[in-house]
Structure 1
Amino acid sequence: MTEQTNEEMLNAMASVQEVKVGDLVQGEVLTIDDNKQAIVGIIGAGVEGVIPLKELSTIAVQNVTDVVNIGDVIDVVVISEIGKDKENGSYLLSKRRVDAKKVWEDIEKAFEAGETIEAPVTDVVKGGLVVDAGVRGFVPASMVDVQFVSDFSEYKGQTLTYKIVEIEPSENRLILSRRAVLEAEKEVAKKEIMEKILAGDVVEGTVARLTNFGAFIDLGGVDGLVHVSEISYSHVVKPEDVLSVGDKVTVKVLSIDPEKERISLSIKETLPGPWDNVESEAAIGTVLEGKVNRLTSFGAFVEILPGVEGLVHISQISHKHIATPHEALEEGQTVTVKVLDVSKENKRIGLSIKALEEKEEEVVVEEETYVMPEESTGFTLGDMVNLETTDED
């Protein structure tokens, strides 16, 4: 062996990288064993290592070739030493942990910058959603939506956007919130709508919530209130009697309070007025059925058409004398009435109940003069009178 050859060998031996557990090294995929593990030659070390399927990726895969192929050069970390001998060493390697470290670094940068991340929902558990953000993330049930959700199954498989709430790489802890993203989007939409919407505008919306006093309508990022009195021209007791959550409705903007972020809406203002065709639908002489809405001391207000009330004056309730309408009628009662007069301009209709009832005829019982029957005494009534006169004498 020449001095030059010996020197080259010494230089080559000196350049061989020593491999230790925890080292980040590069490896070339040499072979793939039954698609369950990859045999990798550690570059610069002259030794080989093994990457099991579970250590190939941060996401679950079925085959090695789903991630790497022969000839690929990849970054791996040395997990442990297995079966070292005189000729070469064999090490347990992981690509997954290298990738996860990079993912955590990216997530930390996004967290510090206040940025959101996207990730698919891989599982639904009792406490919320499990997502794959390159590392395992968790969305608590209270942070899934702005509204209460009872069934999370529909979210499985969906790719959603989240705000990073808490991050701790050393504990593989990543807490995410979708609700925070939705709330932020809603605030932006609310600001835009509040700036462009005007009183008098007619817009489309969706029934978001129902209460005893009205319905909240989602206008696309901001809710407006339709008071129960503005739902219909007909009398509405409960909003749920005529509306359901999710209904698409047309509403008119009545007023806007930017400081309090309140919008008052009306559904009935977008509907045809109840008095528009009243002269044809309730012409004089027409007989209609109606409901007694209110009783007063002077009469009864009866709704004969949706949103149209007429007055039955106390004198038109009954042929009999009554002191108050309460003696003959009850609120909520259905009655048949006849239209006496109509004033569309003044929105007044005169009605009558008694006009449809027959007047009872007064029966006068004449006094009868009863004549006492004559007894068979042989005397007439005249004779008896004369006898009484004679006796007095």
Structure 2
Amino acid sequence: MTVDATAGPRAGAELVVAPVTITPTKPLTPTHVKGLLWTDLLVKASSRLTPVRLVWNNRTATVTAQSTAFWRHLDLTEPDTDWSAETALAIGERYVRYHAGRPRTDPRTLDAYLSRADDTGWVHPAGRRMLDLWRAELDLLGVADPGLALDRPLGIPASAALGLLADRGLLLDHRPYGGPVHLDGTRWGLPLRRLVGADGHPNYLLPILRELIPMIRPDRTFLLICDDDLTADYVLLHRVLTEFGARVARLSLSRVPIAGTTRSSRYGGWSGATLGELSAAAGSADRAAYRLGMRLYFTGTLQRGSAQPFRMPLLRRCVGRAARLLDAAADRGAAPADRTLDEALARLRTRPGYVDPYRLTASLLGGRVIPPTPQLRALYT
């Protein structure tokens, strides 16, 4: 669990929320759902108090070997598959089998894939199908689309980003000798981190830097959101952006174990717990109770650093509690003015300037700091 900031918010400053993006190669797992719900609630609540910009660019996830190597594998093994009819589970199972085979890909075969993804925003049909399925699932969940259907170039070319980093002495560049490029954080006591491989292919950090460095302005504070497994990379990213003059905060969220195991989604183990399966589970709750219950579970029960495994019975109890909260609120009568809610949200704002989703959810459940008014429920449903 980490919350860190270089300084508190400035009056009128814009909060730039930059969550780590997800490669469109597998279903949304509980860890993904936790991150998406925390981000959605944080953005909606914080935007009542300060200008907020959510940064999501699919190219930060597609201009990587992680995505393109899998897509090339699909082109080789299933060139005639109609991906528009596939389910998220079916595509995700292929992704797991691909990694289980310990593939060895000739880097040169990915050059055209990476160039096409970077230059035109190309996404493999299987990836486009996954993005469409995510959009439908997030719409049902009440999560604002972060930009899954949009395409735009990254802020600056890779060569420009590398040049800016080199100018500040932040690169260890072995390209002249046929080697890789490392991001050099040793001045801060951080280890070298490969940014570009000897094959010329970027690590996922380079697209993020290409997107965020051009956005740095004195009147902006950046909030970087990631899961705990990426904390070391995001500490380095934090330092680098600060070197360019950015005001930066970090929010690390723990992963959600499934059946007691925490592993990368590429290794599977998520069957029965994906967002599509959760939304399709039988039950008597309506859409509003489903949306509120999911938020009670993933932002309230699964706190920022919680090590609790995913538990379907507990999620069902949260949905049931949500239904009772909504029924009780309907009988409560007139609600306080919006100003009352904003005053309460201001008391839950952290030093970097965002409203803490866990504290907000705890306040909703306790009914002490913020009563469950329609204005508050709008943030959750």
Please state which band the TM-score falls in when normalised by the shorter chain.
under 0.3
- TM-score w.r.t. the length of structure 1 is 0.18
Query: Which one has a bigger Cα radius of gyration?
Result: 1
Indicate the structure with greater strand content: 1
Bigger RCO of structures 1 and 2 (CA < 8 A, at least 6 apart)? 2
Question: Counting helix residues as a fraction of each chain, which structure ranks higher?
Answer: 2
